[in-house]
């Protein structure tokens, strides 16, 4: 049910014709209230696409009434003309929604785009698609919306967390953060819980930091990455902020896991967990150093439990970021402690890497904090998919 699992939302996904494949390519999600609370998290890339600039401004006052999303074109690196296209799209959607009896201002319509960089969007096609999507809005349109934001994704990603009287539901696209340049991550989450803008903003920042931001393969967000949260209050329930954050985190964790599982060209999903660090930040930084090592990722592709590459990557993290004694590090891969005290541990031939999921646990023996970062292996198919086609 995706973004229409929560009460107070309508959505749709249609074939506008932006994609040459004839697949669905325009989604609209509308918050019918009574509340119109919204929050967003956006790419930290300084090269940001026009829709990111626009949508960041839209949610800056804690409100958004609707979002339109298109695949088939990122509207990034398109200059002032690209920004004008985004602005025009929001105005068009606001006007079309108003004609259906929903009074919406353009400044409350977020816009998300994904696809090729450096190309203008085909505006006539997009706006005609927006009209069709608005005509098709329904209380069970969440799945169609999730389908229409796909690019190289092999399947739609949706998740729902039901609570006693209120619900959080979401959709995401992205064929793995492995390829952020072509696989922009877009995510829309809706809830019928009654929360205020400050709660929405804080909960979203915290939940994203522990879920989507811990899917990390090459360390940089794309030009278009966007996570939007919209809250209607339609359930009449007002959960405790911590309860809400837990449900939101559950939905985003599920969507994150689905992104990893659908990463382009990957043959393994790898969870790197760093334990007994001095702080959660230290644990996360060490885990990230490992998940960004091409040598480690290539070894996992080769079903090679290469603990030397794990600790070599850990050793690149400066001591001021993650204090630990390098001579104490232990590494377990899929349950076998192949490295003990930075030296040879149990027999590496005991490690079975034939399954898709791989668990690497690094014990720093420095404190009691833990963090997990997900990545994928570096494969021939990754190279092929990112070299054979422009994007």
Strands 343-344 and 226-231: unpaired
| Residues making up the binding site for substrate | 151, 173, 184, 264, 386, 391
41 forms part of the interface with a second copy (CB under 8 A): no
20 forms part of the interface with a second copy (CB under 8 A): no
* CA dihedral of residues 193, 197, 201, 206 (deg, nearest 10): -40
312 forms part of the interface with a second copy (CB under 8 A): yes
Burial of residue 302, with CB atoms counted within 10 A of its CB: 0-12 exposed, 13-18 middle, 19 or more buried: exposed
Strand partners, 29: 11, 67
Least Å distance, CB 268 to a second copy, is 11
Q: Which is nearer to a second copy, 374 or 382 (CB)?
A: 382
Least Å distance, CB 288 to a second copy, is 12
Q: Which residue has the tokens 């606001």?
A: 94
42 forms part of the interface with a second copy (CB under 8 A): no
| Residue 330: both structure tokens together | 């232990």
Query: Comparing C-alpha atoms, which of 116, 146, 114 is closest to residue 258?
Result: 146
Residue 166 · residue 177 · CB < 8 Å: no
Q: What is the DSSP letter of 378?
A: -
Question: Which 59-78 residues touch a second copy, going by CB under 8 A?
Answer: 76-78
Span near a second copy by CB under 8 A; candidates 55-63, 64-72, 236-244, 303-311: 303-311
Would residue 114 show up in a list of annotated catalytic residues for this protein?
Answer: no
182 forms part of the interface with a second copy (CB under 8 A): yes
123 forms part of the interface with a second copy (CB under 8 A): no
Span near a second copy by CB under 8 A; candidates 17-25, 151-159, 253-261, 307-315: 307-315
Least Å distance, CB 219 to a second copy, is 7
Q: Roughly what angle, to the nearest 10 degrees, separates helices 307-314 and 280-291?
A: 130
- Tell me how far CA of residue 328 lies from CA of 274, 338, 363, 364, in angstroms: 13, 13, 8, 7
| Residues making up the binding site | 151, 173, 184, 264, 386, 391
- Catalytic residue, from 184, 211, 226, 291: name it: 184
Residue 175 · residue 154 · CB < 8 Å: yes
From candidates 151, 256, 332, 379, binder to a second copy by CB under 8 A: 379
Q: Which residue has the tokens 């409100």?
A: 63
- Give the gyration radius of the chain's Cα atoms: 22
Strand partners, 161: 168
From candidates 160, 171, 172, 179, binder to a second copy by CB under 8 A: 179
Least Å distance, CB 163 to a second copy, is 37
Binding site for a second copy (CB under 8 A): 44-48, 76-79, 117-119, 179-182, 217-223, 289, 292-295, 298-299, 301-302, 304, 306-309, 311-317, 319, 326-327, 329, 339, 341-344, 378-380, 382-384, 386-391
- Residues classed as catalytic: 184
């Amino acid at each position: 049910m995706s973004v229409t699992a929560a009460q107070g939302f309508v959505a749709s996904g249609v074939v506008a014709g932006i994609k040459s494949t004839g697949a669905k390519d325009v989604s609209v999600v509308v918050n019918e209230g009574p509340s119109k609370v919204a929050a967003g998290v956006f790419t930290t890339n300084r090269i940001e696409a026009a829709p990111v600039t626009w949508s960041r401004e839209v949610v800056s006052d804690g409100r958004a009434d609707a979002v339109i999303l298109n695949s088939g074109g990122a509207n990034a690196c398109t200059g002032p003309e690209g920004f004008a296209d985004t602005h025009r799209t929001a105005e068009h959607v606001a006007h079309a929604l108003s004609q259906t009896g929903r009074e919406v201002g353009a400044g409350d319509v977020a816009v998300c785009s994904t696809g090729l960089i450096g190309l203008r969007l085909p505006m006539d096609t997009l706006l005609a698609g927006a009209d069709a999507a608005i005509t098709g809005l329904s209380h069970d349109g969440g799945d169609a919306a999730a389908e229409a934001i796909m690019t190289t994704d092999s399947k739609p990603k949706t998740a729902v967390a039901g609570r006693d009287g209120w619900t959080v539901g979401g959709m995401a696209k992205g064929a793995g953060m492995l390829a952020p340049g072509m696989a922009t991550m877009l995510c829309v989450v809706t809830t019928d819980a009654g929360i205020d803008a400050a709660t929405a903003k804080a909960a979203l920042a915290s939940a994203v930091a522990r879920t989507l931001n811990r899917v990390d393969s090459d360390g940089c967000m794309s030009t278009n990455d966007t996570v939007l949260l919209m809250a209607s209050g339609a359930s009449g329930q007002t959960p405790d902020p911590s309860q809400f954050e837990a449900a939101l985190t559950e939905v985003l964790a599920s969507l994150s896991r689905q992104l990893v599982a659908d990463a382009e060209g990957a043959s393994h999903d790898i969870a790197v967990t760093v334990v007994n660090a001095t702080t959660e930040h230290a644990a996360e930084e060490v885990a990230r150093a490992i998940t960004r090592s091409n040598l480690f990722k290539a070894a996992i592709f080769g079903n090679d439990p290469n603990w030397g590459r794990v600790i070599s990557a850990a050793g690149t993290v400066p001591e001021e970021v993650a204090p630990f004694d390098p001579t104490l590090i232990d590494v377990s891969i899929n349950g076998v402690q192949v490295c003990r005290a930075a030296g040879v541990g149990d027999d590496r031939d005991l490690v079975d890497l034939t399954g898709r999921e791989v668990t690497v646990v690094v014990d720093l023996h420095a404190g009691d904090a833990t963090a997990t970062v997900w990545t994928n292996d570096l494969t021939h198919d990754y190279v092929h998919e990112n070299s054979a086609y422009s994007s």
